[in-house]
Structure 1
Amino acid sequence: MPKTRKTKPAEEPPELPPELSHKEYKDELYRLQVELVKLQRDIIAKDRKVLVILEGRDAAGKDGVVKRIVQHLSPRETRVVALGKPSDRQQSEWYFQRYTEHLPAAQELVLFNRSWYNRAGVERVMGFCDNRQYERFMMSVPQFEDMIVGSGIMLMKYYLDISKPEQKKRLDDRRKDPLKQWKISPIDEVAIEHWKDYSKARDAMLGRTHIEAAPWSVVRADSKRHARLNIIRDLLCRIGYRGKPKDGIHPDHRILMRFEPALLQAGVLAK
């Protein structure tokens, strides 16, 4: 009788660092934003093309990350793309068509606040696409991104993950804050109700679209301050530029880590 192989128990997720004080956060953010300005100067000087994709659950903090990245950068060479619901004409187009016109040209840094991965997330969960469209997307996106990278665009993908209690708290705060009413949508209203469906869709998306040319990085984003700082650190770490500190800039791997399937069993991502 063949021996059964014992499965290695999943490791416990790393303990999160303590929360930063307001001063610690502001001081470090300023230091990193100075480095972002240096990075942009180098992107312009060397005709680089950089694309950053930010995905995650509703209220995961994508808007806050974008705001801190672009805050002191030149608006001429920095673009933020946050597309709304597709028009009737766009629904008849090739799925990626409305995204390709926003890809970066030379000297540009472009940030997608949600992207073509809508099809793997909200469209999948809410039934806005059928199974055939979903499978076609999941098979096509690795090829699409390989072509993007092959054209000379640096592509970085971040998935911001938060716990169910934290999402509920943020959505409740959003409803009460008169300055955040524009963020509320019908999709937000059912986000908690579909929590498990979104978890399943997230796991499939990360597992099937994490490719060598365009890997995913996962961000544990219950702490907005840690999430913002570590995404910026990772950007600065992965791109060389003139004036970069000799000892480098590195993200805290308790907060931001390269995706691998073992993370799904280790409890790093919220279920």
Structure 2
Amino acid sequence: MSNPDTILVDEQPVRLDELLADYHKLKADAEEERKQEKKAVRRFKREEELKPYQAELIKMQQYLEKTRTRMIILFEGRDAAGKGGTIRRVTRYMNEKHYRVVALGKPTDEQKTQWFFQKYVTQCPRGGEVVLFDRSWYNRAVVEPIFGFCSDEEYENFMIGCPGFEKDLVRQGTILVKLYFSVTKEEQARRFERRKNDPLRQWKLSEIDVQAQDRWDDFTQQKYEMLKRTNTTHAPWTTIRSNDKHKARLNAMRVILNSVPYERLNPDLDFVPDPTVVISGSRDLELMEAQLLQQGKFVG
């Protein structure tokens, strides 16, 4: 007598529950494959949308080379805010002979005895070159005081001297672009979680990253002080809201391109930054002060 819970497949008995489980697994696999295909198509379309701006960056670079103009772009912001990914897109098609990405490690014993800006000055561009700092001298304004890597006196000396240092760079012909990438606490946590679980991204997770969520308010306060004291007319900050990485990358390119008076490759391209993504340092400062007042934490 046949078992009602089994059927014959190729003359072999197969349990219905096993067959049903196989069906659901195949259905789930097919759905996951469709999702991956959609993600791949979306990723491709986003990368294609960047290409006209990457072509403009090549034209900009040619202008800098021709005029022997120096350019520095600072990429600052919270951990996992998308600085590295933006740098990779900005430089993807540029002439490698005329740009450098600088990401300095811990200072050596010798550097600790030098003028603070000295190690950065040695990395500054020659005529016709672009230098992109993946974190810069502004480590002393935010990270170092939070984690006790500098004294109060060293911090104060930096905050006093930094505007003059940058004014001198600009006065002598260097184009200086200061970008601060900003994410929400929730988005940063999501990206950290992804780094923990993705073997291709685990190398990005540092000890300081692990503490970033716990020290969120400290970073906010240090950012506020940095904007308040170093957002100047000659070297203003531009904040890039980077919860959406693609929009952040595209609009960072627009900001960079708008800072150089080169002849556009495609004048019909939209060079206007999205105001929901890009805000001036002055406006960001106003918004932070309003938030601090509302929360009862504003102290000056």
Q: What per-residue deviation string (whole Å, max 9, x for no partner) do you get for residues 229-264 of structure 1?
A: 000011112212134433561211110111113121
The answer for the alignment partner of 1:155 in structure 2 is 176
* TM-score normalised per structure 1: 0.88
Q: What per-residue deviation string (whole Å, max 9, x for no partner) do you get for residues 53-72 of structure 1?
A: 01000111100010000000
> What RMSD in Å do the two structures reach over aligned CA positions?
1.7
The answer for the alignment partner of 1:31 in structure 2 is 52
1:179-258 matches, cutoff 5 A: 179-247=200-268, 249-258=271-280
The answer for the alignment partner of 1:105 in structure 2 is 126
Rounded Cα–Cα distance in structure 1 between residues aligned with 2:145 and 2:265:
41
After superposing on structure 2, the runs of 4+ consecutive aligned residues of structure 1 that deviate more than 6 Å are none
State the 1:91 CA deviation.
1.2
State the 1:98 CA deviation.
0.6
Give the secondary structure class of the aligned counterpart of 2:97: coil
Rounded Cα–Cα distance in structure 1 between residues aligned with 2:121 and 2:86:
23
State the 1:181 CA deviation.
2.7
Stretch moving more, 181-190 or 122-131: 181-190
What stretches of structure 1 of length at least 5 have no aligned partner? 1-20
Rounded Cα–Cα distance in structure 2 between residues aligned with 1:184 and 1:104:
30
Is contact 2:75-2:134 (8 Å) kept?
Answer: yes
Identity %: 40
State the 1:24 CA deviation.
4.5
Give the secondary structure class of the aligned counterpart of 2:200: helix
Determine whether 1:61 maps to 2:82.
Answer: yes
State the 1:180 CA deviation.
2.1
What stretches of structure 2 of length at least 5 have no aligned partner? 1-41, 296-300
Determine whether 1:72 maps to 2:102.
Answer: no
Stretch moving more, 232-241 or 112-121: 232-241
Task: Give the number of equivalent residue pairs.
Answer: 249
Rounded Cα–Cα distance in structure 1 between residues aligned with 2:75 and 2:287:
19
State the 1:124 CA deviation.
1.1
Rounded Cα–Cα distance in structure 2 between residues aligned with 1:263 and 1:36:
31
Rounded Cα–Cα distance in structure 2 between residues aligned with 1:173 and 1:64:
15
**Bigger radius of gyration among the two:** 2
State the 1:178 CA deviation.
1.5
* TM-score normalised per structure 2: 0.80
The answer for the alignment partner of 1:259 in structure 2 is 281
Give the secondary structure class of the aligned counterpart of 2:168: helix
State the 1:25 CA deviation.
1.9
